[in-house]
Homo-oligomer: A and B are copies of this chain.
Amino acid sequence: MTRQPTAAEAAPSGQPKPTRREQILAAAAELFALRGFHGVGIDDIGSAVGISGPGLYRHFRSKDAMLGEMLVAISEKLLAGGLRRVELADAPAEALTELVRWHVDFALDNQALITVHERDLANLAEDDRRRVRALQRQYVEVWVEVIREVVPATDEPTARAAAHAVFGLLNSTPHSKHLDRDAMAVLLHRMALAALTGPGALTGLTTSA
């Protein structure tokens, strides 16, 4: 029976120490993003971190556990960051721009995880999938509330759909490497805000004739 330090002692002192587990997760994320969960073998992940094959089982219970851990972690981080930005904002409009900025930075700095997140969710084990779905819902909810404050005449389903659409826009990062990071960040930020706050973009859809 192998020891399984689940996120509790993953960061005992602080952040300076990149654990073996974290190295493995990072490498696995990169490979999963490239070829998909089922397209990557245990041996591939192993050799990506210098060890070979079954040595990974000293650090993880199973291949599914790796996927689960990294998707739960990223979902938690995304939600926590979003909540914090909204809390720190003074006005709704500022909350929205901060939310956009947060998501843009996050997407640009975690392209592999973003890709895996929206592609291999179906390959998660039941438990992990429920947790991730719940976190996703909460994150969407944060956006929905802020959107409805900034664009008052928006009903809830529309706001939800708009949030998903903006996520699609912002998460498009992995598909285009034509601009450097900063230019990309500015572009995505502006496009997202324009899509949400453009004149009448979100209103008059469900109550109109």
- Chain A interface residues (CB < 8 Å from chain B): 34-39, 118-120, 122-123, 157-158, 160-162, 164-172, 175-176, 178-179, 183-184, 186-188, 190-196, 198-202, 205-206
> Chain A interface mostly helix, strand, loop or mixed?
helix
Q: A161-B178, A164-B176 are in contact. Are A190 and B198 (CB under 8 A)?
A: yes
Whether A165 lies near B158 (C-beta < 8 A) is no
Min Cβ gap A172→B in Å is 3
Tallying the copies of this chain within the complex gives 2
Q: Which of B167, B205, B206 contacts A172 (CB 8 A)?
A: B167
- Contact between A165 and B157 (Cβ–Cβ < 8 Å)? no
Contact between B200 and A196, CB atoms less than 8 A apart:
no
Listed by A's residue number, 24 A-B pairs whose Cβ atoms lie within 8 Å are A35-B123, A37-B38, A39-B122, A39-B123, A158-B178, A158-B187, A160-B176, A161-B184, A164-B176, A165-B191, A168-B168, A168-B170, A169-B169, A179-B206, A183-B206, A186-B205, A187-B201, A187-B202, A187-B205, A191-B198, A193-B198, A195-B195, A195-B198, A198-B198
